[in-house]
Chain A
């Protein structure tokens, strides 16, 4: 594949996911048609009706419209997806996000798409739902005029309502947050595994929306009805029961059709999101090194240092984690030396990049703690600082955490925000307030620990060399060759080992201190069923666990040889705890 720049991979993946969503559309549409015409007492007629309906031109046209909707949804997925969850820390900030112009456009488009899908649904269901105007007889004169079909209007408005609520919940639940799975799966099994969850979510969401919309229409339904009827010059049929009344809602057929149309609507959107997530987070194998200089840009060390497209960096980190766990040959490539010259460019670049990420996080944590500490002091002096508006500090905070790994345009605001403890407590709405929200870091730590298996492979001959008493001459030349061979490689790793260890320990200390802050160790509430990914809420716990596991991995692999590593005394003390499994 011609190298299309960093975004190329992502765009191709998005296109593939959209294509699959379009291909799935006839299937979901068929299921919808079958359900909408469901009549258990006339099964043969039901099947034949559905078959003829599926071949009808109106259905084909509906499908074309739906394809357009899916394409737009896919485009929005690509445009709005994020790897760093945005976590508004107060209701004001949330409101700000919802009223952001970009979000307004999003809501508007989704309202329109919702109406379009519901129009398709109402046409497909047919019967009393199919058109906006119906012929009716006026009660006084008896002549036939065109009346407003309230059922059609009801369904269309429900579509707009569901579109808006989808857009709104997308912000609240971080629908566009793409997280990487703890395990790797092929795309098809993963899709199959997620499908029941998606169907369940869309059913539940549709029922909630139907309930909310019914309440909404009960109170405010009069306004759009009169407006439409006066604008389009349609009469209101007074012989029919109006829908915004209690008796109007007892129409079970209407509620049934509303729920299954809503389910169809949400399912279409959710499937697109799901496919997009699956495709984007699929593992991508970067070459560790390349023989041609023009391909050098795509190599793992280069992509790791990538600043512009975050997703490539994430994919590279994921790839690094995978190769360190599963691929011996690629590990060896990492540890190999350059020819000619004998420099360990690969390893140096990779370790440098990882260490810089880790130390960046450490600095951020320390700065955060300092800010908290100083704010505490400020507060003790004057309680009035508490009145600092939460929203201003929050916006700063948000940019602060969004900039976790990327250098985006907002970095000018990066200056560590002054935060009052009060605002920190208020912010428990979206319990955050820490740079933990960058999953890259977690990936990174996940990568650091598998690094040590490579240490293991390199280390084992070394251990043998250390214990010459185990060596009688009989153990053979092969071991010696292996040891001398890997000795070079080990030298490569050993130079950076003190750095890695001290970096990990410092970070762990910072993390531990962070957990001593109020509410940092509190657990988030678990959501039952939502399409949004809530894993970001527990990232800080995951980070701490991964960090500890990484250190344990290194300490158990190296054992007491760590004493020979040149690190400072307090770090050694801390590592000793790990060696004794006292942590």
Chain B
């Protein structure tokens, strides 16, 4: 048993100072942050006994493991594999057409410049000049927005929610919002779908499905899965009753792949379905416009705002009233979805890395690149919400006596996830790969939103030796509490349950027996956490 953590209450002034240093306040006006609980790991060394390593499988959810060796990536473009074959000289026309198809105008100009002896001199010189001009322009543009100089794959790796995307066997993960099934995108650009109580795992493959960066199931629908790829947006229809285990676009286009929405920009790094399932928003870091798709009608409305240099991350509030759009620069926007106007939120430091909404859509938690704190924004239809983000948690490094010597926990907040009932918050903290005993961990907090917003430390989730968490997502409708699914660096997917009864329903003490394990126990015991009312 570990002692129940004691939250540290600070008065508002501390938090507010933090805020004003980190954020440009929108209206140059300070607002009284209502009684806010700020939590810091350093002050809470008392929870160190709660370092819990969990390795257990609840229910019958599949937890597959993928290793890099079994999956062969073929992410290289077709043109680069040509060098492996005998050099057969195509005609200039063929090569130009191929270059145009593979790499667009840039490739065409490159091809013409490279084959200077075959083309008229003025053409070669002209294309070289245009190419130089293009490069100069793009480098100028790139100096304004450094992310534009990245290649497409690097950009996906940079802005994907899956940490260390390029190195990982798992590329993306998504729970179905209503049923016990999830989709996993893998290194070999295929997508597999796992269901509970079913051994069939349909595999989705498509020629255009490369460098999958994000997956999301359509809400209020049994079958539709949106996939953000390097060059397009794919919508699959995976028939829930079908026994077919392999979907390839070549064989059954009309059946499985409903459509691919090609875009002029690439890559797409984030997609978000509206909670009613009617709209799909897609965004790319190279395009300042995000596209709002009416998927069934195959029509899109671009929503463009100048500034920011692109859109990297989208998150729709669970009630559907707001949409967060993060940009690669130090700026993010919150759109309201009734008339689609947006609030600009400039921040002084890095870009917004990850965010999550409270279930009622009234509170948004954010993490910034390179920062070790969690910010909170509140929204309200009546008062208009907060004018500045407040710091709700400070997650700097702290050392805890763990099972195997001291353990340093804390660091940059890479990912945030809030369970659908709003009672558990998982925070992925980046470790230091150089230092010993400073791994990446997932810190779990209990949360309460009424009467005041509170974060109470609950415990840590760590992997097996050498395995670091890369991605996490809560199960959308776990009956007995919350279920956190974690993708690990060793290619494993595991499910971590938190059994509790909802405080909102009962308001009293949990009848469940509180049971905590405080050792690294790899056997299949369950982690019960206490109900703190």
Contact = CB atoms under 8 A, between A and B. Distances in A.
Interface of A: 181-186, 189, 192-193, 322, 325-326, 446, 449-450, 470, 474, 521-523, 526, 535, 538-539, 541-546, 548-549, 552-553, 556, 578, 580-583
B341 interface: yes
Given A556-B220, A582-B222, A583-B222, 8 more contacts: A182-B301, A185-B339, A186-B341, A193-B303, A325-B320, A538-B296, A542-B297, A548-B220
A538 B278 contact: no
B134 to A, nearest CB: 20
B254 A556 contact: no
Contact of B340 (A189, A526, A556, A582): A189
A552 B241 contact: no
8 contacts: A183-B337, A184-B340, A522-B254, A544-B296, A545-B221, A578-B222, A582-B240, A583-B223
A182 B299 contact: yes
Residue from B295, B298, B302 having most chain A Cβ neighbours under 10 A: B298
B240 A186 contact: no
Nearest to A544: B296
B221 A183 contact: no
Contact of A193 (B220, B301, B505): B301
A309 to B, nearest CB: 25
Contact of A549 (B178, B278, B297): B278
A556 B178 CA distance: 9
User: Which 10 pairs from chain A and chain B are nearest by CB?
Assistant: A545-B296, A182-B294, A581-B222, A552-B220, A542-B296, A542-B297, A538-B297, A541-B296, A581-B179, A549-B220
Interface of B: 176, 178-179, 220-223, 240-241, 254, 259, 276-279, 289, 292, 294-299, 301-304, 320-321, 337-341, 505, 507
A183 B296 contact: no
A271 B358 CA distance: 43
Contact of A521 (B254, B299, B505): B254
A581 B240 contact: yes
A474 B507 contact: yes
Contacts of A539: 297
Residue from B221, B279, B296, B341 having most chain A Cβ neighbours under 10 A: B296
A450 B298 contact: no
B341 A189 contact: yes
Contact of B299 (A538, A581, A583): A538
A449 B276 contact: yes
Residue from A182, A538, A578 having most chain B Cβ neighbours under 10 A: A182
Contacts of B289: 193
A193 to B, nearest CB: 6
A188 B298 CA distance: 24
B287 to A, nearest CB: 13
B295 A545 contact: yes
A450 B221 contact: no
Contact of A552 (B221, B295, B320): B221
Given A549-B277, A552-B221, A582-B241, A526 B301 contact: no
Nearest to B261: A526
B336 to A, nearest CB: 10
A473 B276 CA distance: 35
Given A538-B299, A549-B276, A186 B222 contact: no
A470 B279 contact: no
Given A193-B303, A549-B277, A582-B222, A185 B340 contact: yes
A546 B279 CA distance: 11
Residue from A183, A184, A193, A446 having most chain B Cβ neighbours under 10 A: A183
B533 to A, nearest CB: 13
A470 B221 contact: no
A450 B339 contact: no
